[in-house]
């Protein structure tokens, strides 16, 4: 029987920063993006590779790739862990608002 890998500890939420003019412009563009593109952009903005984010969140790299290419949709638990790791709200990650 295979041993299950232990999940990494949850990431502590960070306090929100005030929005700059460039952030506000980015937020408007984020609303028009699909979930996968928004996820990829947030990951790149956080200067993380797919492997880094997978390690933090505890998911397979292929699954993250499918999410970024809009081939799959995450469940609530995965969405929560992704939002924590990327330091955004679940609502923003899912809808861009």
For 65-75, how does the pLDDT look when each residue is reduced to its tens digit (9 = 90+)? 999 999 999 99
pLDDT at site 85: 93
Q: Helix, strand or coil for residue 33? A: coil
Residue identified by tokens 């947030």 is 42
Going by pLDDT thresholds of 50, 70 and 90, the confidence category of residue 97 is confident
73 CB-near residues (< 8 Å, 6+ apart): 35, 67
CATH of the domain at 79: 1.10.260.40
Give the count of domains, the chain.
1
In this structure, what token pair is assigned to residue 68? 């970024």
Determine, yes or no, domain membership for 27. Answer: no
CB distance 46 to 86 below 8 Å = yes
Determine, yes or no, domain membership for 10. Answer: no
Provide long-range contacts, Cβ within 8 A and 24+ apart, for 19-28. 27/96
pLDDT at site 33: 76
DSSP state of 93: H
Domain extent at residue 74: 34-95
Distance CA 12, CA 32 (A): 29
Query: Against a cut of 0.75, is the pTM above it?
Result: no
Determine, yes or no, domain membership for 90. Answer: yes
User: Which is more confidently placed, 31 or 8?
Assistant: 8
């Amino acid at each position: 029987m295979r041993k299950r890998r232990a999940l990494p500890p949850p990431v502590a939420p960070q306090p929100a920063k005030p929005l700059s003019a460039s952030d506000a412009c980015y937020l408007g563009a984020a609303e028009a993006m699909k979930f996968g593109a928004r996820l990829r952009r947030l990951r790149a903005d956080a200067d993380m590779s797919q492997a880094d984010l997978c390690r933090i969140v505890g998911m397979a790299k292929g699954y993250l790739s499918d999410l970024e290419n809009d081939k799959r949709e995450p469940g609530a638990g995965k969405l929560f862990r992704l939002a924590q790791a990327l330091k955004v709200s679940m609502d923003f990650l899912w809808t861009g608002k």
